[in-house]
Structure 1
């Protein structure tokens, strides 16, 4: 029997480009996935299958950033209507809305879900106290262009930000002062922190770059064949995936920098990618308006994927899996097997 071919689950439902996504941690009910889309309707899905759970309705513009807290009880979104919103992820209800003076591009919860970090085209980072929503937020000033991504460190005493001013900056939460600035050759894209809090992953140009989250030193950078917009390091830290302008998903060895494999499934540039908390799959969002779920190890039975043997006569036995869209039911599909 010949090798297996990657067949992603396609999660339909959005009508415009998918620009951000985030997984929760593993909860007693599994783990969950939220997606931000320019259609203004962020969606919540079951993380391992992509099954649609619900849509958060309330924004009046493109949603640029979306995240879940660790236990998936709350969601946060940032949008072109100059607001960041916090939602009850179990009921779908809007809990709080925080006005800004420009587009909110990125949001992140603190580890205890008590504060919300935002980054916007105002060139300002803000931290809102969700227990005192009427209080003035902390503000971090220094960027000279749009802020594209923000993230708390593990201890939540620092925040990281990436901006079109070609810098990645680190800020002290208590003093609201900049404590470190990393200059990049071109505007950085995504920011991701490993689950153990040790490594920040960022992208710029054709490069995925890794930084020590404690001393801010660059650990390494690895070049891809095309410009990359986003990258995610596997929980094992043995390899990472990235995607960008050539529509492909790439997997690289973290230690050697060698390309392990690449897959083309999207029909537009890839804007966001993240590994699931168990590392069994990674999700990507694209200009083509879809989310796709990819197996970390092709051929394992997991979620909606089921590894099957080919028919005796050598014919291909299965079809491309597709996660459910709003109002439809799920059916178990199989990974494509070539013989």
Structure 2
């Protein structure tokens, strides 16, 4: 690879985030990343389209969804929504991704080219590009054709490098894509050129989760061995690293992470049920949240901004210091980070798989998805249930908000994606 480095000023305070990396800048690949464990998906594809594996004719199923997309032939592992248009991208066990209309359920584009399960999908900030990532190690990019036409897309490029793609995240403003791999490496690409900008090597296990900070200036990644690394995108060397050798950070592997809107705190969920609060300015553990059962993996973390009065508002709400964690114990716990106290517990009948908060002015509403086949909308100010969303015949593996938060789109182990009104 070429060795030209990104200009430092692109990440300085006040820099224009959209131009923070020159499209021609490509960085050296550092380290071979070592070898990570392999976690293959279940090869059983008996479910087929429409959740036939889960159908029981003796049961009367409730379905309050407004639309469904049944084209996948097997489990649907990932779904994401376009930032403005009525389009969702889903990826599944059938080695395919799809773009489809969430208002009609119509298939728009079949996203082909993968040779193994598609486990990640993601739209960039302006919705002009969509990425799919798979267990085959490929990241494939499509772009929208025409500024006014959201129904037509064309293949742009394929990015290679990772052994198996664990997750994808776009920069909050720029056309830069971040991916975590099963082989311990983290990749950074510039689009539309497809140039590799950086390969971060520092983890010792599969990189299970990660993200840009909301201000776009830093990257946080974490692995299955329990290590968290805070990166400056300009450098292959960590800003700081936390490992299980510090007893305060022993989580038996890290399974989820989120960064607060101010980009000052990260909340990390562990495979053992532990939750830790990390100061990104100090590079240290500043809190431990104990609310989930021991040994129950924390699968989702979501910050919530509470702008209106309620039992959970006050100093924590004013600072954005409310976070929700969801785990395999079926609980979603609401925490006040100003006091490090548990304020409410939301109950599912099985594992919580994802959490999402609506945008302002309804940012106090959160949607949880679960293996119990149900999504639920909650009021985080009071911990009360607002609405249940039913229609899946199997576990819900992923979910996303669309159309400005007015709908939630879910991906099921039953091979179907469903659309629900959030309220």
Alignment correspondent of 1:188: 254
Note the residue ranges of structure 2 that are not aligned, 5 or more in a row. Answer: 1-61, 145-149, 244-248, 307-319, 390-406
Alignment correspondent of 1:138: 198
**Given the alignment of the two structures, is residue 71 of structure 1 paired with residue 126 of structure 2, yes or no?**
yes
> Looking at both structures, which has the greater relative contact order when contacts are Cα pairs under 8 Å and sequence separation is at least 6?
1
Greater Cα radius of gyration, structure 1 or 2: 2
CA distance in structure 2 between the aligned counterparts of 1:284 and 1:161, rounded to whole angstroms: 23
CA distance 1:292–1:40, shift in 2 (3 Å)? farther
2:208 counterpart SS class: strand
Conserved 8 A contact 1:243-1:249: yes
CA distance 1:136–1:67, shift in 2 (3 Å)? closer
Give the alignment partner of residue 174 of structure 1, picking from 234, 241, 260: 234
Give the alignment partner of residue 263 of structure 1, picking from 347, 363, 372: 347
Alignment correspondent of 1:160: 220
Conserved 8 A contact 2:134-2:164: yes
**Given the alignment of the two structures, is residue 121 of structure 1 paired with residue 177 of structure 2, yes or no?**
no
Aligned-residue Cα RMSD (Å) equals 4.2
CA distance 1:157–1:219, shift in 2 (3 Å)? same
Alignment correspondent of 2:366: 282
CA distance 1:222–1:9, shift in 2 (3 Å)? farther
Alignment correspondent of 1:251: 334
CA distance in structure 2 between the aligned counterparts of 1:300 and 1:291, rounded to whole angstroms: 13
CA distance in structure 2 between the aligned counterparts of 1:72 and 1:40, rounded to whole angstroms: 23
Give 1:156 deviation, angstroms: 3.3
Conserved 8 A contact 1:21-1:285: no
CA distance in structure 1 between the aligned counterparts of 2:227 and 2:420, rounded to whole angstroms: 45
- Offset from partner CA, 1:61-92 (integer Å, 9 cap, x none): 32333333233333323211211122336335
CA distance 1:8–1:105, shift in 2 (3 Å)? farther
Paired residues in the alignment total 303
**Given the alignment of the two structures, is residue 234 of structure 1 paired with residue 301 of structure 2, yes or no?**
no
Give 1:231 deviation, angstroms: 1.4
CA distance in structure 2 between the aligned counterparts of 1:137 and 1:41, rounded to whole angstroms: 27
Give 1:122 deviation, angstroms: 1.7
**TM-score, normalised relative to structure 2:** 0.58
Give 1:137 deviation, angstroms: 3.9
Give 1:161 deviation, angstroms: 0.8
CA distance 1:210–1:276, shift in 2 (3 Å)? farther
CA distance in structure 2 between the aligned counterparts of 1:102 and 1:286, rounded to whole angstroms: 29
Conserved 8 A contact 1:240-1:251: yes
* Higher mean C-alpha deviation, range 80-89 or range 13-22: 13-22
Note the residue ranges of structure 1 that are not aligned, 5 or more in a row. Answer: 1-6, 304-320
**TM-score, normalised relative to structure 1:** 0.71
Give 1:146 deviation, angstroms: 0.7
Give 1:150 deviation, angstroms: 2.0
Alignment correspondent of 1:199: 265
Give 1:162 deviation, angstroms: 0.8
Alignment correspondent of 2:47: none
**Given the alignment of the two structures, is residue 214 of structure 1 paired with residue 281 of structure 2, yes or no?**
yes
2:126 counterpart SS class: coil
1:71-110 alignment runs, 5 A limit: 71-88=126-143, 90=150, 91-110=152-171
1:297-316 alignment runs, 5 A limit: none
1:144 counterpart SS class: coil
CA distance in structure 1 between the aligned counterparts of 2:275 and 2:236, rounded to whole angstroms: 28
